[in-house]
Amino acid sequence: MKQSVRNLTPQALWSNFADLNAVPRASKKEERVIAFMEAFGNKLNLSTYVDEIGNVIIKKPATIGMENRQTVALQSHLDMVHQKNAGTQFNFDTEGIKMLVEDDWVKADGTTLGADNGIGVATIMAILASEDIVHPTIEALFTIDEETGLTGAMGFKGDLLDADIMLNLDTEDDDELTIGCAGGIDVTGKGTYKASDCPSDSIAFKIQIKGLTGGHSGMDIHKGRGNANKLLNRLLYDINKSFTLNISEFDGGGLRNAIPREAYAIITIQSKEINEFKTFIKKQKVILLNEYKITDPDIELTLTEVVNPSSVLEKSFQDRLIRTIYACPNGVYRMSPNIEGLVQTSNNIARVLVKEGQYAIKCLTRGSVDSEKTDMAMSITSTFELLGATVSYTNDYPGWEPKPDAQIIQLMSQLYKEMFNADPHVNACHAGLECGILGTHYPDMQMISFGPNIRGAHSPDEKVQISSVQKFWNYLLETLKRIPPKA
């Protein structure tokens, strides 16, 4: 399987991608990939430096005749989202990604692929290792922990690069040039609760929603896909109105930047209500399948009888918890009034865990306008505080203000039209690109983000298009040839 990936064109890029995907590289567990990248730079006898955060900087002199051109920073992040399907047996800490080639796509066997942002990393590696690619002075910046807080970019010092231009290789549509992005903040409500004994006259069930499409909580938030936490809570709310419901635990979602695909609760129902309850669940299943047949065609609602738990939530807390999750905003809050089709502000209820006397509800709030992002965070805070939660804010990062008149944007727009006989989509995105943070250190640096077609990022459906990688590669190489002279 892996060998077939190595034989794809451009071979240097795909071979580097295979090498990279053999290295476990979860966010906040990047020690091995940092060492891998440092060894790569040293083997090439290039100036290689690992900063105090773990970011890796590799510098390569210009090729002959390009010495007077502006210096270019090529930037991608080393970490990847680790997610797998419920039935997939895979250990991300010890195993390399198992890749498959299907028609014009590369994907993984039941896990995320790591094309986000591994294709960008592999591309830069191929340029650093090349002996015949024409380019100006290159400063390669490989950041860490982009996916769970952008902490690599946040901790990066402002005196390590001399570049005039930054090319960020972390966009997922090959006809887009991204020139701005949203900022974000994690809003988390935590607390404790009192438990009660499990009622003796009840039967316990595991109720689960799974098979949702999921996806990136920024780039896919406007697509109307189901959030497993919200859908499960909606069911619990309806069950609570009609039956004697007791919840023992609630466990849904996972990563902060992924739309939750699965969630389950352990509940009890009075024995005398069981037949009516099962009929109710069958009806709810039909309703969900109908509502989400387009966006989440594989959605499943399952009900499995289990051993009665030792305890359940105290009733008044249970009622307030259900109402809190129901009231918490999720999805698109406001579209941009300035850029057609751009989500301006949103929230993703990424994780709900209620178990053994403790609870946590974790959200990732995004916004292109900082004041509106703050407003949404305060709305969520107010909701959580009504439950009695302690609210914390982490991973607050700024957006990236578009500068459409920048020289590199004009150059790459014209080049795209010349090469592909079409105009690129020059836009901003509703995701947390590192350019916004890095730009605070380098306010005069021109920045642009682009990349090949990647679908299903942050989910086990992730895949990258082979022909699009070839298009992206050729476009990048021609861009490097045309970098303008230094002022």
Question: Active-site positions?
Answer: 79, 146
Q: Which distant-in-sequence residues (6+ apart) come within 8 Å of 201 by Cβ?
A: 270, 271, 272
Around Cβ 197, how many Cβ atoms within 10 Å? 10
Q: What does residue 332 show for φ and ψ, rounded to 5 degrees?
A: -75, 130
As a whole number of angstroms, the distance between CA 347 and CA 332 comes to 7
Residue where the block lists tokens 């009929």: 279
* Residues 6 or more apart in contact with residue 447 via CB below 8 angstroms: 165, 166, 168, 179, 400, 406, 408, 435, 438, 439
Separate counts of helices (H) and strands (E) for the chain? 12, 23
Apex CA 336: angle with CA 334 and CA 339, to 5°? 160
Strands 343-355 and 331-335: antiparallel
How far is it, in rounded angstroms, from Cα 195 to Cα 229?
22
Helix (H) or strand (E) holding 413: helix 407-420
Q: CA torsion, points 265, 270, 273, 277, in degrees to nearest 10?
A: 0
10 upstream amide cis, omega within 30 of 0? yes
| Separation CA 118–CA 79 (nearest Å) | 8
